[in-house]
Amino acid sequence: MTAVTHYFKNVVDSVKTTLIGLGITGKYLLQKPITVQYPDERLPIPNRYRGIHYLEQEKCIDCLACARACPIDCIEMDAVRHGKELEWISFTLDYQKCMFCELCVYPCPKDCIHMGTEFAFVSYDRSEFVHDLLSYRGMARDAKVRMVEAEKKKKAKEEAKKAKEGAQAAVVAEAADDEGEEASSEDA
């Protein structure tokens, strides 16, 4: 008798458990996918993520503190000093060596080197992994966009200012011309 009940219990169990399983997978089927279409949309990256470095080159004073702190000597920089002005030649970081330890960030006296959120870089050639950090390589995409926009706005403002000043100058010049004419007429 036990064998018979066991037999029918097996049948009932298999049907029941299959239905339960179908319910679970069906729930997932209707759920929204949690993956994103990567190159088009990206998941938010945490602020303290250690990606490609981002250098604020206006702040940097060429003190070599980060290069000295680097345990594998992958940072190299070169600049020429003209009095107080710095003329940058190169600031390179070899990403074949870099282990993204963030030790270069802490000693910086001007707080100008940071770890960014960009991480994807591929190349057909090893030499291309030596990145020049000048020109804001490694800055987060949205930050870069903001910076470019701010610069554009700044330029536009300056140009507007210049145009205004030019117009004023022209007015002043005209006035001077008028005065000159008057003076000449008086002379006549």
Partner 1 sequence: MLTFDPAIGFSSAVLAVQSAESGLKDGFGTNAIQDFLVGVKPEYVPAWAVPLTAIGIAIGIVLAIVSVLAMFSTWLERKVSGHIQCRFGPMRVGWHGWLQPLADGVKLLLKEDMIPLGADRTLYVIAPALVLASLLGAMAAFPLTETFYFANFGLGIFMILALTSTTTIGVVMAGWSSNSKWSLYGAMREAAQVVAYEIPLGISLLVPIMVAGSFNLIEVSQGQGGGYGILNWNIWPWVNPFMLPAFVLFFVAILAETKRAPFDLPEAESELVAGFMTEYSGIRWSFFFMEEYAAMFLYCVVGSFFFFGGFESPVTSLAESVGGTNSLLHQLGAASTIVLKGFAGVFLMMWLRWTLPRVRIDQVMTMGYKYLTPLALVCVLGAGLWEAFIAPHLWWRS
Nearer to partner 1, 14 or 168 (CB): 14
**Least separation in angstroms between CB 41 and partner 1:** 11
Does 11 sit near partner 1 (CB under 8 A)?
yes
Does 3 sit near partner 1 (CB under 8 A)?
no
Distance CA 185, CA 179 (A): 10
- The tokens for 141 are 């995409």
Does 15 sit near partner 1 (CB under 8 A)?
yes
Please say whether the beta carbons of 139 and 75 come within 8 A. Answer: no
Q: Output the CA–CA distances (angstroms, integers) from residue 36 to 30, 33, 42, 116, in the order listed.
A: 16, 8, 7, 21
Does 33 sit near partner 1 (CB under 8 A)?
yes
Does 26 sit near partner 1 (CB under 8 A)?
yes
Residues in the chain: 188
- List own/partner pairs for 36-43 with CB under 8 A and 24 or more apart: none
> What's the number of CA atoms in the CB half-sphere (13 Å) around residue 148?
9
Does 29 sit near partner 1 (CB under 8 A)?
yes
Nearer to partner 1, 37 or 185 (CB): 37
Out of 9, 13, 16, 18, the only residue in the binding site for partner 1 (CB under 8 A) is: 18
Does 124 sit near partner 1 (CB under 8 A)?
no
Nearer to partner 1, 31 or 123 (CB): 31
- The tokens for 83 are 């009095």
Task: Using CB under 8 A, list all residues that contact partner 1.
Answer: 10-11, 15, 18, 21-22, 24-26, 28-29, 31-35, 37
